[in-house]
Every structure is written in C-alpha cells, then in structure tokens.
Amino acid sequence: MNFSIDNITRANIKKVSPYSSARDEFKDFSKEMVFLDANENPFENGVNRYPDPQQILVKMELAKLKGVSIHQLLLGNGSDEVLDLLFRAFCEPKEDNILTLPPTYGMYKVLAEINNVENKEVLLTENFQPNVNAILASANKNSKLLFLCSPNNPTGNSFTAKEVEKLLNSFKGIVVIDEAYIDFSSQKSWLQRLSEFPNLVITQTLSKAYGMAGIRLGICYASSEIISILNKIKPPYNINELTQQRAIDRLVKPLEIKNQITTILNQRMFLINALKTISFIEKIYPTDANFVLVKVPDATKIYHQLLQQGVVVRNRTSQPLCENTLRLTVGNEQENTKLINALKTI
Ligand SMILES: *Cc1c(COP(=O)(O)O)cnc(C)c1O
C-alpha cells in the first residue's frame, strides 16, 4: 500500500518546532551534575524535579512486556489524550473527517466535536461487526482516521480479523484500533502485526485490566514515523512523576496482573451463568471484555430499580442498536453476587 504519513499530516503540524524543555536539552544523569536549568525547588521531596518528558523507564518496561521498540510507543494522560493528539496531528478542522462505528465508545465523537472535525457514522451490522463496504463507501479523500474499538465498548465483542484486515488494506487514512479491553479477549492483539501496516495505530490503557484508572496512563503504538509526529505536539510533561513511578511498580509484576485477569474472567463466567437464570433478561450478548451487555424489557426502569438497591450499572438504551440494554461491569465475587441478588428481586 502506498501510504505516506507526510500526505496526511496537517501542514501546520509539519512546520511546528516543538517546545524544548530543560530536560530535553540536557538529560545525562550518569554524572554527578548539579541541575540549575529548570527553576525547580532544590529541596528533595520525591517530586520536586520535572518528570522525564519521554518516560523512558516506563517505555522500557512496556517495550519488554509487549515486544515493541520504544520508538513505536507514545504515552498519554489516559488514552483520551492519545486520541486527541491524533485529531490534532491529522485532522484539519472544518475540512477533514473521521469515521466511527456506533454503537461505540463515546469519546471519539466528543473529540471530533471539540476539534471541529466531521464525524461520519457508519453503524455496525446486526452482529456488531464493521460494515466494510459501507465504511469504504463513506470514506473520501478527507477521511483521516477510522476508529475501530475491539473488543468494542459497549457491545463487548471483538471484530473479526478478516474485516479489520480489509479495512487496514483499503482505508486511505489511519486505522486506530482501540484495544482498551484486549487483555480480557480471546482474540490476539493487533500489536503482533504492527510493522505490517504503516497506517495502523493501536491504543491500549492501564485503566482497565491493569487496574490503574486513577493514574491516567494511555499507550499508543504505531510506526516510529507516526510516533515522532505525535511526540512533537504532545505537552512536554504530560505524564507526571507519580504516574510514571506507579506504572513501573505495576508493570514489573505481570504475574499479579495476569492472576487478576484470570479471576475477572472466572467471575465473568459466573456472572453470565447467573444472568441466564434471571427470567426477564432477554439477551446476554457475547463478550470479550470485562463487562456484559444484556437486553431487558425496560432498561431505564431496571436501571433505577438497581440503583435503589445500591447497584450502579450503565444504561445504554439511547445508543443505536442498543435499545433497552444495560452494560454490567464484572466486579469481584461479592459485587457480582449483590448484582444478581438485586436482579432476582425485580
Ligand atoms: C475505558 C476505555 C478507554 C480508556 O480510556 P483512558 O483514558 O485510558 O482511561 C479507552 N477506550 C475505550 C473504548 C474504553 O472503554
């Protein structure tokens, strides 16, 4: 495929010369240096120095864990920052457009609105798969980003590899695969095929399986060419010191994360089996994520009945193809039991 990153990058972004921070200009920590270059307070308290703008230690752990080079990595203040950077790098406001596939994660649409970029929506099929022909028919020369969320939020299913591959081969802009839930999936991550597709961007996050929603760390994987453009426009110190430290502490214990994922997957099975005994649940959708979408007779009513019993779920009834559905996050054994008991009283 003749994909050229230069062709799709905004002209003003190509011209930007990034802010050069004190830590960009001097970063040799090997010698005993005195740092009088960043106007920091010299009294050590663990966070008095600016954090590493390139988060090299975090990236080294991630690179080891995920089998990529650190030049294929960019970190964001949550995936949401990564997604926003993609808009700012590649979408000319009022001129370019993006494609999203509802029902899906709501942030793509919000970011399109904020960045004043048209959002072309192409509904998923009945089985919640991408409608490849309709997507390609909707795309034009100004279509810069195509968002594929797999496993998809809120439906829970993964997109079939065949359909995704067709889109990667035919879409002329960047295909963003949002893998926020990949650690719960039976499908392989597209990370293994990153170098095959110059137009592929994959996002992951520490917010879900890694149990760190509070530290805000999103991960972007792409070719080093794409990464260097995003790097140019990201805020210099977008990942704070506490986040970098806590991320490393967690990433060096992959077994702990793996065990928690196993427990959550077992609980998912328990929850699904228990949901099957609730007579008014009309449908339990197949899931590859840490949540289950169910169809009920009156989602809004049941949502409020659950609230009264102290259980908060997500009402997705206003989403296309999701009328009268509730999205249930898989909790721990006690939480799931509480949900099931509450449903039994309805
Ligand atoms: C939860 C979620 C994210 C995570 O966003 P963060 O900003 O990293 O917390 C990204 N994409 C989808 C589809 C999600 O559901």
CATH number at residue 11: 3.40.640.10
Q: Are 233 and 322 part of one and the same domain? A: no
CA 261 to chain CA centroid, nearest Å: 17
Whether 68 and 100 share a structural domain: yes
Burial class, 273, CB count within 10 angstroms (exposed 0-12 / middle 13-18 / buried 19+): exposed
Are 151 and 276 found together in one domain? no
Q: Under a CB-based contact definition with an 8 Å cutoff, are residues 50 and 29 in contact? A: no
**Same domain, yes or no: 197 and 270:** no
**Contact between residue 33 and residue 25 where contact means Cβ atoms under 8 Å apart:** no
pLDDT at 1: 59
Best residue among 74, 77, 79 to mutate for probing ligand 1's pocket (most ligand atoms within 8 Å of CB) is: 79
The count of other CB atoms within 10 Å of the CB of residue 50 is: 17
Of 200, 224, 252, the domain-final residue: 252
Which pLDDT score is estimated for 31? 75
pTM over 0.95: yes
Closest by CA position to 78, among listed 293, 289, 265, 235? 235
pLDDT tens digits, 99-113: 999 999 999 999 999
Please tell me whether residues 184 and 231 are part of one structural domain: yes
Quick one: pLDDT at residue 73?
Answer: 98
CA of 231 to the centre of ligand 1 (A): 20
Q: Which ligand 1 atom is the nearest neighbour of the CA of 149?
A: 13
Residues 177 and 244 in one domain: yes
Q: Which of 105, 243, 327 to mutate to test the pocket of ligand 1 (most atoms within 8 A of CB)?
A: 105
Residues 34 and 105 in one domain: yes
Do 152 and 279 share a domain, yes or no?
no
Pick the residue whose CA is nearest to atom 12 on ligand 1. Answer: 180
The whole-number pLDDT of residue 23 equals 81
Does one domain contain both 211 and 105?
Answer: yes
218 and 293 share one domain: no
The alpha carbon of 339 and the centre of ligand 1 are apart by a number of angstroms equal to 24
Which of 107, 109, 150, 239 for a ligand 1 pocket mutation test, highest count of atoms within 8 Å of Cβ? Answer: 107
The closest of 318, 304, 308, 313 to 275, measured between CA atoms, is 313
| Distance from the alpha carbon of residue 206 to the mean position of ligand 1, in angstroms | 9
Q: What is the pLDDT of residue 39?
A: 95
Which atom number of ligand 1 is nearest to the Cα of residue 213?
9
Same domain, 262 and 159: no
Is the pLDDT assigned to residue 2 strictly greater than 80?
Answer: no
Whole-number Å distance between alpha carbons of 53 and 42: 19
pLDDT band, residue 88 (cuts 50/70/90)? very high
Looking at 227, 252, 277, which one is the last position of a domain? 252
Q: In which domain, by residue range, is 82 found?
A: 5-252
Cα separation, 9 vs 228, in Å, equals: 12
- CATH number of domain containing 332: 3.90.1150.10
**DSSP secondary structure string for all residues of 218-236:** EEEE--HHHHHHHHHHS-T
3-state secondary structure of 191: helix
| pLDDT tens, position by position, 185-218 | 999 999 999 999 999 999 999 999 999 999 999 9
Q: How many domains does the chain have?
A: 2
Domain edge (last residue) among 230, 252, 274:
252
Same domain, 216 and 314: no
Ligand 1 environment, Cβ below 6 A: 78-80, 105, 149, 153, 178, 180, 205, 207-208, 213, 218
Specify the amino acid at residue 2: N
